Amino acid sequence: MSYLNANIPVQYAQIRREYLYDLKKHHGEVEDCIIFGITSLTGHAILFHAIMENGAVFYRLPINAFIQRGFKAEDVPKYRLDELQLWNCFSYYPAITVWDLLGGVSGKFWGKDKKWHKGKYLFTVDFGHPEANILDSDHSEIPHEHKCAHIIALNDGNYAAQPNNRCIWDIPSFTVKDEVPDWKVQTSEWNVENTSKWKTEDTDNFFYEIEEKKND
């Protein structure tokens, strides 16, 4: 698990040029870039790093600063940042995973506009707490608070970062039910050593016995 910064699968994209000028000029213009990493700051949006064709690198831009290659800027709808990314980062410790099952898979997410937005899976950003000696003041490991962010290349040319409970994926040979789940949020913590019902025998046997404790 990385601290603060992490590599991501590189994305050949375009950057909205106004983000290179503090949103003060060059609105409506784009230039080619390669997105290669992220910063995860607790309580902030995922921030992306990109290199331009002039060799300069620009750090920490939001997901709505970019559009996909092959799209004209005027044809790509502009969304607010909170419409493309639902939740802020939960930790300074991001983990980047490309799930083999989802790699290149089409899907859709349910937006704040009450509409489905279709796209293709790219990779996942998840969050955790690194070790017990660091104060855990975030929510990344609380079962009912945890969210990941699936990075999606939308069919309209934008990118999005959405959690599990907003996404539906399409694997034609398996996902044959056309429904939105009515599941409930996970609140349980699963632990196999928090019971007082058993103990190991007090010996040096390699294959030791497990004994049920007698009631006091």
SS3 106: strand
In the chain the beta strands, taken as DSSP E runs, fall at: 5-16, 30-39, 47-52, 57-61, 66-68, 94-97, 106-110, 116-127, 149-154, 159-162, 167-170, 198-200, 210-212
Q: Degrees (nearest 5) of the Cα angle 152, 153, 154?
A: 100
Q: Which domain holds residue 86?
A: 5-212
**How many beta carbons lie within 10 A of that of residue 95, not counting itself?**
15
Q: What strands lie across the sheet with 30-39, from one edge to the other?
A: 57-61, 47-52, 30-39, 5-16, 66-68
User: Over the stretch 50-99, which tens digit does the pLDDT of each residue have?
Assistant: 999 999 999 999 999 999 999 999 999 999 999 999 999 999 999 999 99
What is the pLDDT at residue 197? 83
The pTM score is 0.90
What is the pLDDT at residue 117? 98
Cα–Cα distance, 197 to 115 (Å, whole number): 50
Specify the higher pLDDT residue, 29 or 211: 29
User: Over the stretch 133-152, which tens digit does the pLDDT of each residue have?
Assistant: 676 666 656 666 788 999 99
Question: What are the C-alpha distances in Å from 64 to residues 79, 83, 153, 154, 166?
Answer: 7, 9, 12, 12, 18
SS3 134: coil
Nearest to 69 by CA among 104, 32, 35, 37: 32
Question: What are the C-alpha distances in Å from 171 to residues 97, 102, 104?
Answer: 19, 8, 10
| Distance from chain centroid for Cα 83 | 15
User: Over the stretch 147-173, which tens digit does the pLDDT of each residue have?
Assistant: 899 999 999 999 999 999 999 999 999
In angstroms and rounded to an integer, the radius of gyration of the C-alpha atoms of the chain is 22
User: What total of structural domains would you count in the chain?
Assistant: 1
